[in-house]
Amino acid sequence: MLIVCGLLGLLTAGADAADRTEAIAGALRCARHRGPDESGTWNDDDVVLGFNRLSIIDVAGSHQPLHWPPPPAEDAGRYTIVFNGEIYNYLELREELAGLGAEFATEGDTEAIAAAYHQWGAEAVTRLRGMFAFAIWDARERQLFVARDPFGIKPLFLASGPTGVAFASEKKSLLELAPELGIAGSDELDPAALQHYLILQYVPEPETLHRAIGRVESGTYVTVKAGQQPVQHRYFHPQFVSLPSHAPASAEAEAIVHGEITEVLRDSVAKHMRADVTVGAFLSGGIDSTAIAALAKEHNPDLITFTTGFEREGYSEVDVAAESAAAIGVRHVVRTVKPDEMMEALPLIVWYLDDPVADPALVPLWFIAREARQHVKVVLSGEGADELFGGYTIYREPLSLAPFEKVPGTLRPLLGRASRRLPEGMRGKDLLRRGSLRLEERYYGNARIFRDDQLHEILRQYDPRVSHTDVTAPHYAASEKWDPVARMQHVDLFTWLRGDILVKADKMTMANSLELRVPFLDPEVFRVASALPLAQKITGGASGTTKYALRGALAQIVPSHVLNRRKLGFPVPIRHWLRDEMYSWARDIIRDSGAGHLVDLPAVRAMLDAHREGPVDHSRRIWTLLVFLIWYGIFVERRITPEVPEPAYPVTL
């Protein structure tokens, strides 16, 4: 059990899979960082599977690809599985399956998945409490079953061509396999995906920047037989209770809710602590990571926590995190990041990402993950709390824009036109603009980088038909009758969370062969959080408290100095650095880029100069473009070739 790694598979169409094993082994090398402890491949006539393993539990027994059931069963080895992730309720599953007649030859969770699939078929994915991307080959039915966890914690890419279907934990592995799949023009970019990236700062699922490669979406499984196209099925349909009343609950009712939250979180952390190696925790200055660390300390008195920051006032939570660590009573490790380190590391970081993600916070995350890997093999983190419990300040926006809801729909466009006449940066301009829009038009996640008018000026192949609503419309349609905050949470589950938060969490930790676990993103925690009414998420009006119920539940768990502290995360001072330390570096990236047919490079240079001169802040837009230009130099031009270090970590810690 508990194997985090890089999986890879190829289902051929009219070709001998044995001829593809060398190609699979080569493609696995692109994902060596995901599992440096051992690699393995297996094939039969139709399929070849490969695996890189990071061993956490049952090091001697749960080698992959793994075959089930074990001998001497009559159908021994019918199923072959490769599995990336963790099943935290594997002990309970094994006990239940053993009672139904299943036999096991290992002590791990990989066999539990195969046995569950044998017992319940596709329905097995709904019984798994964990993070996962796995593939099971059924030798009797000659069918491949591929599944990804409900929230998209673990990545899974998919490509199909005339000679087969392939899947992998890393997109770069599928780029290596493109010739084996008979895919012509595998370097061809998807202009709509690029436009979405510049709007959102990430490429939304199921897109990637390469036309030939897509993603298996979160909460989805895929079935495919040799010679046929993959068929995708969504099994996870998140539902939020929608009770818009802001009437406060009674003290007794609140106490019950707080007890439920505390109980389910404590249980989730306990299960996420299952490991035979050292488990640590990331610790920022906020309530989410502090709560996880405090609960983890209950299971590991020698817990180590890790934080990162910068030598610039207002852009570091190091002092607050250190105070929290002292209050909890854990050993604490700090890694300070300097601008020259960020500039040097960024090309390598972008290589690890596969697709560009322009969240500056992923850079310090990469550094602290590298530091943490010197001490532990697994870390817990607080991702997901904001989406589940209503933690983002923008979730208060429906309250601040409530007066605009009284404006007749026919008059709202007039407000938008009025906002456009106001000077850029004028107070109230954006409020007026957003108040003129319906929720479905104005909200598409926490990051809103380029507006349409700005894209038109910077993107050479701008298409006015491409919009953020292409991404969000299905999710708004599924939540049409919910209150505005519940609808925003629902959209974030399918966009911001799986497109930005979880991508950077997985990619930056696995780049350092470090496993990251997220106890908030647990089906049982979601069950409790999704039942909270609006008054238990946002309270006190347009400037009120976020995560109201969660804060109440954690009042006796986290130190008082973080209980109601404003969320920062790992803020990065790029606004200042792009005016000073990073200015020449940024100009060089723009000057050397060969992406001028896609992006107006002189306009980018002008934006950088305008930002340097001030007062307008273009830093997020500039950063988004710089990350793309570096990505283009690596994966398309092949001009930038980061030196990828060979993983050099011990098998056990």
1: confidence class by pLDDT, cuts 50, 70, 90: very low
Percentage helix, strand, coil for the chain under 3-state DSSP, each rounded to 5: 45, 15, 40
Dihedral (Cα; 322, 325, 330, 336), 10-degree rounding: -30
What φ, ψ does residue 620 adopt, rounded to 5°?
A: -70, -40
**pLDDT the model gives residue 196:** 97
Q: Which two tokens stand for residue 515?
A: 């496993």
**pLDDT the model gives residue 495:** 97
pLDDT tens-place string over residues 172-207: 999 999 988 888 878 899 999 999 999 999 999 999
DSSP string, 461-492: T--TT--THHHHHHHHHHTTTS-HHHHHHHHH
Alpha helices (runs of H) in 83-242, residue ranges in sequence order: 90-99, 110-120, 171-181, 191-200
**pLDDT the model gives residue 342:** 95
Question: Which of 547, 561, 570 has the alpha carbon at shortest distance from 324?
Answer: 561
Instruction: Report the range of poorest mean pLDDT among 46-55, 96-105, 128-137, 626-635.
Output: 46-55
Instruction: Name the residue with higher pLDDT: 54 or 33.
Output: 33
The mean pLDDT value for 497-511 works out to 97
- The owner of tokens 């602590």 is 273
**pLDDT the model gives residue 569:** 58
User: HEC profile for 544-592?
Assistant: CECCHHHHHHCCCCCCHHHHCCCCCCCCCCHHHHCCCCCHHHHHHHHHH
The mean pLDDT value for 33-58 works out to 83
pLDDT > 90: percent of the chain: 71
- 125, 147 in Cβ contact below 8 A? yes
- A 10 A CB-CB count for 203 gives 22
DSSP β-ladder status, 157-161 and 164-168: antiparallel
Going by CATH, does the domain composed of 3-234 fall within 3.60.20.10? yes
**pLDDT the model gives residue 216:** 97
pLDDT of residue 13 exceeding 80? no
- 274, 2 in Cβ contact below 8 A? yes
**pLDDT the model gives residue 40:** 86
**pLDDT the model gives residue 5:** 43
Q: Which two tokens stand for residue 24?
A: 């699979």
Instruction: Name the residue with higher pLDDT: 218 or 320.
Output: 218
pLDDT of residue 208 exceeding 90? yes
- The owner of tokens 């010197």 is 374
Q: Which two tokens stand for residue 218?
A: 């979160």
pLDDT of residue 375 exceeding 60? yes
Highest mean pLDDT among 23-37, 216-230, 564-578: 216-230
The mean pLDDT value for 140-162 works out to 96
**pLDDT the model gives residue 15:** 67
**pLDDT the model gives residue 2:** 28
- Sketch the domain layout of the chain as residue ranges: 3-234, 251-391+494-563, 401-484, 574-635
Instruction: Name the residue with higher pLDDT: 400 or 117.
Output: 117
Query: Can you say whether residue 569 is alpha, beta or left, with left for phi > 0 and alpha for psi between -120 and 50 degrees?
Result: left
The mean pLDDT value for 351-377 works out to 96
**pLDDT the model gives residue 525:** 98
pLDDT of residue 650 exceeding 60? no
The mean pLDDT value for 322-345 works out to 95
DSSP category for residue 217: P
Instruction: Report the range of poorest mean pLDDT among 105-119, 127-141, 238-252, 403-417.
Output: 238-252
The mean pLDDT value for 476-500 works out to 96
pLDDT tens-place string over residues 423-468: 877 777 878 888 888 899 999 988 889 988 899 999 999 999 999 9
pLDDT of residue 59 exceeding 60? no
The sheet that has 279-282: what strands, in order across it?
A: 331-336, 304-309, 279-282, 378-380, 515-517
Amino acid at 38: E
Same CATH topology for 3-234 and 251-391+494-563? no
417: confidence class by pLDDT, cuts 50, 70, 90: confident
Q: Is 5 a catalytic residue?
A: yes
Distance CA 549, CA 545 (A): 10
How far lies 445's CA from each of 36, 438, 491, in Å? 35, 14, 7
Instruction: Report the range of poorest mean pLDDT among 181-185, 390-394, 489-493.
Output: 181-185
pLDDT of residue 244 exceeding 70? no
CATH assignment, 251-391+494-563: 3.40.50.620
- Largest CA-CA distance found in the chain, in angstroms, rounded: 78
521: confidence class by pLDDT, cuts 50, 70, 90: very high
User: How far separated are the first and last CA of the chain, in Å rounded?
Assistant: 17
Q: Select which of 1, 2, 3, 5 is catalytic.
A: 5
61: confidence class by pLDDT, cuts 50, 70, 90: low
* Residue 409 exposed, middle or buried by CB count within 10 Å (0-12, 13-18, 19+): exposed
- Rounded to two decimals, the pTM is 0.94
Mean model confidence pLDDT for the chain: 91
Instruction: Name the residue with higher pLDDT: 31 or 624.
Output: 624
pLDDT tens-place string over residues 257-301: 999 999 999 999 999 999 878 899 999 989 999 999 999 999 999
pLDDT of residue 542 exceeding 80? no
pLDDT of residue 70 exceeding 90? yes
pLDDT tens-place string over residues 555-598: 999 999 998 876 665 678 999 999 999 999 999 999 999 999 99
**pLDDT the model gives residue 485:** 94
